Chains A and B, each alone.
Chain A
Amino acid sequence: EAQVVESGGGLVQPGRSLTLSCIFSGSSHYSINWVRQAPGKGLEWVGSIRSKGFGGTADYAASVKGRFTVSRDDSKSIAYLQMDSLKIEDTALYYCTGCSGIYPHFDSWGQGTLVTVSS
């Protein structure tokens, strides 16, 4: 089971960019995923990146496609969520999760990092 710790949240103005980081340990074979929870709302899948062994490809929710990019550097055991053109509705607690099987087998979760988009 992978362990994950995310960081990088903060206050950012609409239209600006922010990059979240996720340090993962346990296995480089895991896919790394981002799930968010807006204030008072439920969980929402944001995006995922497969391990190299499964092509290293990424998938995104329609709400963030074209604005967010998931990447990973297995040599450093770090994954990133680059968020561009941020909107107020992107305000949420962002969780990094590790997936040891097929989606959405999210069996390890970080504590989350808060992103607030406001002017």
Chain B
Amino acid sequence: QSVVTQPPSASGTPGQRVTISCSGSTSNIGSNYVYWYEHLPGTAPKLLIYRNNQRPAGVPDRFSGSKSGTAASLAISGLRSEDEADYYCAVWDDGLSGVVFGGGTKLTVL
């Protein structure tokens, strides 16, 4: 069980907006930046959001991140079939002195 919790699954139809949550504590999300990764099976994970809400070059603005207190979320608007993937939040944990990943959320586009 990760110290950072995500829902195991999420779904939406094309064009919809979906949100994936990431819940932690004061030692991780509450005091450090949150990062989000997209992982398609058989490929390398890809950095999607850094420092809570910043997008690397090339990531569409359909993807956005936010953080409040000890929780963070990833929002995907204008859902597309190619967004079907596993999404992970990641954050440094001061108590563990290490990086923790959320358990991952499998997004299904119906």
Contacts and interface: CB of A to CB of B under 8 A. Distances in A.
A associates with B:
yes
Interface of A: 33, 35, 42-45, 48, 59-62, 95, 101-107, 109-112
Given A43-B88, A101-B51, A106-B35, 12 more contacts: A42-B88, A42-B101, A60-B98, A61-B98, A62-B96, A103-B99, A105-B35, A105-B47, A106-B37, A106-B90, A107-B56, A112-B44
A24 to B, nearest CB: 14
B7 interface: no
A43 B39 contact: yes
A78 to B, nearest CB: 19
Contacts of A107: 47, 50, 56
Given A45-B101, A48-B99, A59-B97, A106 B88 contact: no
A35 to B, nearest CB: 8
